[in-house]
Amino acid sequence: MQESKELLNTVQSLAKIQINQNLETYRYDVLNILYEKLGFKSSLFWLVDDQKNLVNPILFNIEESLIREYFQYFQKHDPLHPKNIKHTQAIQSITNNVSEKEYLNSDYHNLFMSKYNVRDEMAIYIQVDNVYAGVIGLLRENDELNFNQNDYTKLNFLIQMIENGFIFNLQSTALARSPLTTLTNREEEIVIEIAKGKKNYEIARQLFISENTVKKHLQNLFQKFEARNRIELLYKISNIKSSITSNF
């Protein structure tokens, strides 16, 4: 009964941050909720680049020196690194990928995890369009128990909600950084007329402005979107809109 209440509270808290509009804030808030509601004390939330490299971690109760050393020497030995995992399930522990004996005898355990008092690790893999886009790493210290089936069940219940929020905030962040958001009302009107195939003098007449003003707005548009001509401008605007909205 208590665990059901914990999960319900966690779901409610995750629901409140689904539309943060900012991916960095969202990632931190997820880790904070996992700590406050479920007791996952030490964690980090990575992004994954196109080559499956872990980048830009958000840390929660984890020393920065651990991350520096991980980047420099040990990430290639991490059984839960996206490049090293052997299975596709969304939630995995170390022993999903190596035997306990192999792990305990490894340099990763003896020279790295033990040094930082880390007993066990579990990872939540977040995908966008079937491609890894984020990883939440959960750590247990030596004075805590190893992760167990109960932990897996809880996280498996929450993964879809976390992933949906990640996708929404990823898209919102991309939109906020897009040149689309810098368009003035007049530039939007000119883009609409360009899409209709109208020439400069026709646009000027339609919008009650001079042809020189149209040319000036076009130059600004070409600069914002790094386009050389009208066709390329429309193509780039279309691609940006498509990439932002494709997951909705």
Quick one: pLDDT at residue 156? 95
Residue carrying the six token digits 């409610």: 12
Cα separation, 204 vs 45, in Å, equals 51
Strands ordered across the beta sheet of 54-60? 54-60, 42-48, 131-141, 118-128, 91-93
DSSP label of 184: -
pLDDT tens for the chain, 248 residues long, are 677 888 889 999 999 998 866 888 999 999 999 999 999 999 999 999 888 999 999 999 999 999 999 999 999 999 999 999 988 899 999 999 999 999 999 999 999 999 999 999 999 999 988 889 999 999 999 999 999 999 999 999 999 999 999 988 887 666 555 666 677 889 888 888 888 888 999 999 999 999 999 999 999 888 888 888 888 888 777 766 665 555 44
Quick one: pLDDT at residue 18? 86
Task: Confirm whether pTM is higher than 0.85.
Answer: no
Number of residues that this document lists for the chain: 248
Inter-residue contact 134 to 47 (CB < 8 Å): yes
List of domains in the chain: 2-170 (3.30.450.80), 179-245 (1.10.10.10)
Residues 6+ apart with CB under 8 A from 23: 166, 169, 170, 172, 173
Bridge partners (DSSP) listed for residue 123: 92, 137
Cα separation, 238 vs 230, in Å, equals 12
Quick one: pLDDT at residue 178? 61
Cα separation, 65 vs 67, in Å, equals 5
